[in-house]
Structure 1
Amino acid sequence: MMISKENAEHYIWRGICDGWHLVKQDDLSIIHERMPRGTSEVRHFHNKSRQFFFVLSGMATLEVDGDQHVIREFQGIEVAPGTPHQMMNTSQEDVEFIVVSQPMSHGDRVSLDEKE
C-alpha cells in the first residue's frame, strides 16, 4: 500500500507539532514530522534506538550531546543510542522532516527534562 502523510496514522505532540507514522514496526519506525516555528521537543536519549533525522523543508536545529547542528533541506544527522539530543525549530518557517528509528523509539525514550 502506498503511504503518505495524507493517509498515514497521524498524531499531535507538544500540542502543536504533527507526526505521521509512515512505517510503524517494532524493529523500524519512519515518521514524517512537522514543527511550527519556535517549537522544540524535550531533550532526551534512547537506550536502544538509533535515529536519523532528515529535513525535507525548512531548517531545523538539532542539539546532539551539547553540540548544535543546523540541518537544512535535504540534509540529515544520525544520533546513536544513548546520545542526548533535542530537535528545535528556531527559524521563522515550519520545518518538515523524516525521523527514522531502529528499533522503534517509542517506549525507549528517557527524558532529560524534569517537566515531562
Structure 2
Amino acid sequence: MISKGNAEHYIWGDHCDGWYLLNRPDMLIIHEKMPSGTQEKRHYHSVSRQFFYVLEGNLTMELESDKHEIKARQGIEIPPGAKHQARNNSQLPVEFIVISHPTTRGDRSDLSSC
C-alpha cells in the first residue's frame, strides 16, 4: 500500500511538495501540493501524456495559451508536445494527482517565457 504518509517526498518549485505514489519508467503517479501563489515553469513533454486530477482546492492550468480552472474532483489531460503551466492563483493550497505515461524523467523541455 502507498499513501502520501509513506511515499517518498520531494520539494519542487517555490515551496511545493510532491510524493511519488508510483515511480516506474512506463508510468509516474505523483501527489502534489502547491501553496497559494505558486506556479511551475511553463514547459512541455515530447513523449509523455499527463492527466492532472484535483483533490482539494482550485488549480489553474495554462494549456497552449488557454486557461482552465480545475476544481476538486475535476481533471485535465495534457497531450505530448502541449505547452502547459500549473498555477495556484487561489488563496488556499491545491492538492492534485498527476499521472504521466510514460514517465516524464528526461522528457521535459522548459520554455524561456514563463
- Give the shorter-chain TM-score range: over 0.9
What corresponds to 2:49 in structure 1? 50
Q: Deviations over 1:36-83 (max 9, x none)?
A: 000000000000000000000000100000100000000000000000
**Alpha-carbon separation, structure 2, partners of 1:38 and 1:52:** 22
Aligned to 1:16: 15
Deviation of 1:14 (Å): 1.3
Specify the alignment match of 1:32 in structure 2.
31
Separation in 2, partners of 1:65, 1:32: 23
Q: For structure 2, which runs of at least 5 residues remain unmatched after alignment? A: none
Residue deviations 1:64-105 (CA, integer Å, cap 9, x gap):
001000000000000000000000000000000000000001
TM-score, with length taken from structure 1: 0.95
* Number of residue equivalences: 114
Aligned residue runs from structure 1 range 74-89, under 5 A: 74-89=73-88
Structure 1 unaligned segments of length 5 or more: list them.
none
Q: Deviations over 1:12-40 (max 9, x none)?
A: 00140000000000000000000000000
Distance 2:80 2:49 in 1: 5
Matched residues, percent identical? 56
- Normalising by structure 2, we get a TM-score of 0.97
The CA distance in 2 between the partners of 1:106 and 1:55, in whole Å, is: 22
Q: Partners in 2 of 1:57 and 1:114 — Cα distance?
A: 28
The whole-number CA distance in structure 2 between the counterparts of 1:113 and 1:99 is: 23
RMSD across aligned positions (CA) = 1.1
Alignment-derived partner of residue 104 in structure 1: 103
